[in-house]
Amino acid sequence: MRMLFVSTLLLSSLSALAQTRAVQVFAPDEFVTGHVTAYLDSGEIIHVPVEKVETVEQLKRSLHLGETMSFEADATSEEAPIINEIVSQPAVGEDKEMFDPARFRSIQWSGIDPLEKANLSSVASYEAAQGVMDGMNGETDDDSQCYNRAHMWTYEALVNQRVNLGKLWIFFTRKYIREHRYKWWFHVSPYTEVGQERFRYVLDRGFTMIPYTVENWKNMFMKNQANCPVVTDYRQYDGRQEEAYCYLIYSSQYYWQPWQLKKVAEEGQHFYGYKDSELQIAYPDALGTRRVSIPVLRNPIPNPDIGTNPNPRPNPNPNPNPNPNPNPNPRPDPDHSGIRNGDQVVYQYDLNRTARVIETSIGNMLYDIQFQDGRREILRDVTRVSLAAMSGCVSNICVGHRVLNTGLPQEIVYNKVIAVTVEGLFVVQFEEGRSTNARSWGWHESYLAHTTACHRSGSGWCVGDIAYSRLLNADVRVIGHQNQGLVLEILSGRERGYRVKHYRDQLIRN
């Protein structure tokens, strides 16, 4: 998936897409009446009018011969583009292994899970995960493909920080694409596991600057906040297009494009090691230049299991440590380890409905809940991790508080805290912005800024204070505070009205 940033200056509304191929072509009317639809290896979707016979034939030719295509499309539109003309050319490339092929063939695979032999590194803390993310090359091109960025980032994490990341794939189904006229059919990003709990965070530097929980990352792309079932077999996604809006697949870092996930599912062909031919494509696309220097992987790790230690899991402490340190390690809150009969809760897979606990069983680990709307529907044997209590506090943030959400990639918006999960995370409801009135599960305290009182560091900055920012060259008002700094509203200059995160030591009191 390509990055899309909102800018005050729109340099061009058209972009030419090069070195992309069709991976699936659908019959007319499958998605849009009077159009043939194609999935591209970039993750994008295009529609071609059926009357453009020559273009339709070129599209099919690209599919069957593996030819690359280029065309012009409106880069600012959130919907899949209508394409009237395609230019094709034969594909060339060399398939050169970075690792010894004999070593690759010696690995004894036992299943079709693309996470087999991934040997993921478990980093010690959220700060360590932030450190890995800070080490990613941030000079990526806005028009680059998500799978090329992910391949470069995971490779460099391995080379430079000796960290084995995984990849998380989200596949959007035809059901979702039709209903929302969506322009992508997949997206991929690196992820890591944090702490002894091995809690997963997504490191998608193309869209965020901090590690995101899987739920919050997923919701950046799911307009309806739908649940995405996790599957290990590509065919479970491919063959169940109307049963869900999306699916998630976890893989090792070595899976570059979706066709490799399909290969392991259908043929048991696992992928291990980086190929020079893939890196020679990934780097120039990710960085937007042909002049790149690909670092050399020396003494490659991990040493894959060949029948001795089944799942070795190194536990490095990568550097550098990030600054500031949000530290959102998930942990149970002692005040919310249990839920009692009569308590009001939010159910993770139906966030917009309030429920009440009516029965507990098996040592308070399973719950029967009854929704409190007109239908009064009852769900039985719901697990504790799927419920959030609609009372209580974590780190001075309580249910009912109004907070500023600073974890979104393009906006800072007011939220209301609705509930607290067993892991000490928050369920919030958006009061403004693109997701107004929507609820979202799994926000850590480090993403939420207090909107009353003063910064607890004793810095002297309180909500409502007016100051001057040398960095912004503008007057500002403090509207929120959190551990790593302040949230400001800009009061003067061209950026007047914008909200920004800001370090407190860069302000001058008016």
Is the pLDDT at 325 greater than 70? The verdict is no
- 14-89 sits in which CATH class? mainly beta
d(CA 341, CA 318): 44
Query: What's the average model confidence in pLDDT over 99-110?
Result: 60
Amino acid 95: pLDDT: 52
Q: Supply the angle between the helices 146-161 and 276-287 in degrees, to the nearest 10.
A: 110
List, for residues 10-35, the tens digit of each pLDDT value: 223 344 444 688 888 998 998 999 99
Confidence of residue 170 (pLDDT cuts 50, 70, 90): very high
Confidence of residue 312 (pLDDT cuts 50, 70, 90): very low
3-state secondary structure at position 184? strand
CATH code at 101-287: 3.10.620
List, for residues 47-91, the tens digit of each pLDDT value: 999 999 989 988 888 887 778 888 888 777 778 999 999 887 776
β-strands 122-123, 87-89 pairing: unpaired
Q: If you average pLDDT over every residue of the chain, what do you get?
A: 81
Confidence of residue 102 (pLDDT cuts 50, 70, 90): low
List, for residues 440-451, the tens digit of each pLDDT value: 888 888 789 999
Query: What's the average model confidence in pLDDT over 39-47?
Result: 90
Amino acid 311: pLDDT: 33
Q: Return the H-helix or E-strand segment holding 26.
A: strand 22-26
Two tokens, residue 239: 């063959």
Query: What's the average model confidence in pLDDT over 496-504?
Result: 79
Q: Rounded to the nearest 5°, which phi and psi values hold at 372?
A: -100, 15
List, for residues 360-383, the tens digit of each pLDDT value: 876 667 899 999 987 788 988 888
- 294: nearest Cα among 312, 274, 270: 274
Residue ranges covered by each domain of the chain: 14-89, 101-287, 331-451, 466-509
List, for residues 248-280, the tens digit of each pLDDT value: 999 999 999 999 999 999 888 888 889 888 999
Confidence of residue 313 (pLDDT cuts 50, 70, 90): very low
Looking at this protein, which amino acid is placed at residue 383?
Answer: T
What whole-number percentage of the chain has pLDDT above 90?
A: 39
Is the pLDDT at 174 greater than 90? The verdict is yes
β-strands 68-74, 14-20 pairing: antiparallel
d(CA 463, CA 9): 32
Two tokens, residue 319: 């550097």
Amino acid 508: pLDDT: 84
Is the pLDDT at 480 greater than 80? The verdict is yes
Most confident of the following: 108-117, 151-160, 281-290, 484-493:
151-160
**Cβ burial, residue 404 (10 Å; 0-12/13-18/19+):** buried
Is the pLDDT at 207 greater than 50? The verdict is yes
Find out whether 510 and 478 touch, Cβ atoms under 8 Å: no
Q: Which residue has the higher pLDDT, 480 or 77?
A: 480
Strand partners, 382: 367
What whole-number percentage of the chain has pLDDT above 70?
A: 81
| Terminal Cα-to-Cα distance of the chain (whole angstroms) | 44
Is the pLDDT at 404 greater than 50? The verdict is yes
Amino acid 416: pLDDT: 96
Q: Please tell me what DSSP assigns to residue 278.
A: H
Is the pLDDT at 191 greater than 80? The verdict is yes
Confidence of residue 203 (pLDDT cuts 50, 70, 90): very high
Query: What's the average model confidence in pLDDT over 214-240?
Result: 91
Find out whether 170 and 237 touch, Cβ atoms under 8 Å: no
Taking residue 270's Cβ as centre, other Cβ atoms within 10 Å add up to: 21
93-97, 197-201, 412-416, 423-427 — which is least confidently predicted?
Answer: 93-97
Shared fold status for 14-89 and 101-287? no
Is the pLDDT at 345 greater than 90? The verdict is yes
Confidence of residue 142 (pLDDT cuts 50, 70, 90): confident
39-43, 378-382, 401-405, 481-485 — which is least confidently predicted?
Answer: 481-485
Query: What's the average model confidence in pLDDT over 109-127?
Result: 85
Query: What's the average model confidence in pLDDT over 430-453?
Result: 88
Q: Where are the alpha helices (DSSP H) in 213-257?
A: 214-219, 234-238
Query: What's the average model confidence in pLDDT over 164-170?
Result: 96
3-state secondary structure at position 212? strand
Strand partners, 501: 487
Amino acid 306: pLDDT: 30
Is the pLDDT at 403 greater than 90? The verdict is yes
β-strands 474-482, 466-469 pairing: antiparallel
Number of H helices, E strands in the chain: 9, 29
28-42, 200-214, 479-493 — which is least confidently predicted?
Answer: 479-493
